[in-house]
Structure 1
Amino acid sequence: MDTLFFRDGTPFHLGEGGSVQPRGSFPPSIMPLQGAIRTALARGRGWRPNHPNRWPEELGTPDDLGDLRLRGPFLRFGGERLYPIPLVLFGKWGAELTRLVPGEKVECDLGQVRLPRLAQPVTGKMLEGWLTQDGLESVLRGEVPAVTEILQPEKMWKEERRVGILRNVDTRKAEAHHLYTATHVRPVKDLMVEVDVQGIPEDWNPEASLTLPLGGEGRMAYVTVSKKAGDQADFPRMPEWSQTEDTVRFTVTLLTPGRYRNTCSVIQTGPKGIPGRCISASIGKMVSLGGWDLKRCRPRRSVSLLPAGCTWFYEAKVEQLDQIKGLHGTFTGEMNAYGMGQIAIGTWQEGTR
């Protein structure tokens, strides 16, 4: 029933950032979530901040997750898991939508490339939001999802601008000329942020429900813990291929933000380990990932990520189809243990109208 405060990687320390205001970020990145998850697990094993030596070694260090492996975060609304919209849908909410497909070769600063084009002439912009599992499976099949399968962010949470002021800890009085602003989010009822956690020792038995501080200002969140049956129990299905040609045309879409060592190369040619040849791509704006290092009491170093929804268009030989299918749901790039870089495999058709 309360608001939550998550932000992007814009500096938020006193004297940093200048006139650039930190923006709210929702759903939150994996960093505050992994911190909350590990803190809850550690408390269940007897750890407390005043007893740092009781920290379980299975939960790693400030720089690694130990035995844990995470997937997500995703949203769950009305009991159904949601996925970010791949950056191949164009149009207006409630109006006709179309897809992006590779266009004809053009000459640009990258040489000869096939830039994405609209399959049909419609007005609007790149669609940003969330899809149900059925909606994402439609997009992976090369189709346009139904209106009921698309959810706008405004339907699931609202942003609220807040103004605060610095308070002197000793005098408990406000300090003059020390205003700051922050963007909080107020989730609607039945909206959850969900993370799959693997690697918890079988004899730990974490609590089925608990409350814990999450995000900035220590706002409290209600947490439920449930067991899943299998890694792919909730994962979208890959499209079926009825391959009659020598060429396989497929897409690679980021379901979670990806961190890559050579981002420029990945933007142009796709993540490493993908068979075939990348012929086009639809890439969103880079996002920054920060966070707070609780042990060292300082901000984490900000890194740049490719956002969820980025999609690459590929062509490969039919002999590589089994290898392509094996990539569905796997991870690319770095920090895979944190759930970054998870991909879904789809299909596209040349000359789609």
Structure 2
Amino acid sequence: MSTLQGAIRTTLARKQGWSPHGKEELPAALGSSKDLGVLRLRGPYLRYRGERLYPAPHLFFSKKGEPLARLVLGEEVECDMGLVRLPKLEKNRLGKRLSGWLIAAGLEAALAGGIPPTETFFQAGDLWEPEHRVGIGWNWETRTAKEGQLYGAIHTRPKSELQIEVEVDGIPEDWHPEGAFGVSLGGEGRIAQVTITEGSSEPRDRLPSPSLTPEGDLLRFTVSLLTPGSYPKPCQVIREGPAKIPGRCVSASIDKVWQVGGWDLEKRRPRPLTSLFPPGSTWFYEAKREELDQIKELHGKLTGNQQAYGMGEVVIGTWQEGTK
């Protein structure tokens, strides 16, 4: 989002006559290097072949040639965190955890405690290809290569039908850009084509409603991130989940926390690294039956820090007790 919000705000400012090379200040409505001003963002999301893609909860494993398997919770075990219940594969299943994206129908199946149909699941190789490049440092004065500055880089080549989208709210009425145009995106300034769509999300992009059924007085549910989560106490979040979630966190399936930096244009130096929980991170909870409505209200909400940037969007699902 840090890259995309910069492109969005630069585009809006240029439409108001601002230039990054001029002496004018960035329009006050667009904030500063520390905030977004009046803007509120959601996403970013991927869209492929006209369908929005959502990060798959970290619940699914597979072995080549076999159908997907879903994690279940095992019995309590002793570890450095005390007594915990660890997610594990169903009995007699092998494989590795799959990272990927689901269309709305697949996400609905996952949140309902089931297995997403194969055709609803996309992995990175379905959406883009890595391009390996070799470069060398260049001395523009002598027009010769610099000694010892040969390097390699991996670029990403998206499939032609892949798009990145961000929902933007708060734009002043007379500022709305129209049509399609090109913008400079990212550190290398590559040109990206932008299309503006007015209004709320299409019905097919709306999150499926959570399917939660209490078992007696007990309600079991999951909380999964759709966008990176920024939280003030990462170690506590690993154990207990995001703050203000009803019930008790009993387990989690989380990838390594990301360390994300960036470049501070104002101070002309790297930004400090911050820890972000990756999309797909999932926590397992148990709560009381009377907390059902409160839990449903969390579906699609933003949690943690930097909510104006779309951080910490969560979806609510269900899980069943027992191993198979």
Structure-2-length-normalised TM-score: 0.95
**CA deviation after TM superposition for structure 1 residue 164, in Å:** 1.4
Structure 1 contact 255–309 (Cα < 8 Å) conserved:
yes
Select the residue among 4, 8, 17 that pairs with 1:46: 17
Structure 1 contact 282–311 (Cα < 8 Å) conserved:
yes
2:158 equivalent in structure 1: 187
2:230 equivalent in structure 1: 259
Q: Distance in 2 between matches of 1:231 and 1:274?
A: 28
**Percent identity of the aligned residues?**
54
Matching residue's letter, 1:79? G
How many pairs does the alignment contain? 324
Select the residue among 272, 289, 309 that pairs with 1:301: 272
Structure 1 contact 258–341 (Cα < 8 Å) conserved:
yes
Structure 1 contact 92–127 (Cα < 8 Å) conserved:
no
1:210 and 2:181 matched: yes
1:229 equivalent in structure 2: 200
Q: Distance in 2 between matches of 1:94 and 1:198?
A: 44
1:113 and 2:88 matched: no
SS at match of 2:7: helix
Decide whether aligned partners of structure 1 residues 232 and 301 sit closer, same or farther in structure 2, where only a CA change above 3 A counts: farther
Matching residue's letter, 2:317? G
Q: Which runs of 5+ in 1 are unaligned?
A: 1-29
Select the residue among 169, 180, 200 that pairs with 1:198: 169
1:20 equivalent in structure 2: none
Aligned 1:320-331 pairs, distance under 5 A = 320-331=291-302
Q: Distance in 2 between matches of 1:97 and 1:173?
A: 54
Q: Which runs of 5+ in 2 are unaligned?
A: none
Question: Greater shift after overlay, 324-333 or 171-180?
Answer: 171-180
Matching residue's letter, 2:282? T
Q: Compute the RMSD of aligned alpha carbons.
A: 1.7
Matching residue's letter, 1:92? K
**CA deviation after TM superposition for structure 1 residue 233, in Å:** 7.1
Q: Distance in 1 between matches of 2:202 and 2:29?
A: 21
**CA deviation after TM superposition for structure 1 residue 208, in Å:** 2.0
Q: Distance in 2 between matches of 1:334 and 1:143?
A: 31
SS at match of 2:174: coil
1:174 and 2:145 matched: yes
SS at match of 1:221: strand
SS at match of 1:87: coil
**CA deviation after TM superposition for structure 1 residue 169, in Å:** 3.6
Select the residue among 125, 135, 141 that pairs with 2:106: 135
Structure 1 contact 102–313 (Cα < 8 Å) conserved:
no
Structure 2 contact 250–286 (Cα < 8 Å) conserved:
yes
1:154 equivalent in structure 2: 125
2:303 equivalent in structure 1: 332
Decide whether aligned partners of structure 1 residues 311 and 141 sit closer, same or farther in structure 2, where only a CA change above 3 A counts: same
**CA deviation after TM superposition for structure 1 residue 232, in Å:** 8.1
4+ runs of 1 displaced by more than 4 Å?
A: 230-233
Matching residue's letter, 1:235? R
Structure 2 contact 73–323 (Cα < 8 Å) conserved:
no
2:316 equivalent in structure 1: 345
Decide whether aligned partners of structure 1 residues 216 and 230 sit closer, same or farther in structure 2, where only a CA change above 3 A counts: closer
SS at match of 1:203: helix
Q: Distance in 2 between matches of 1:233 and 1:98?
A: 26
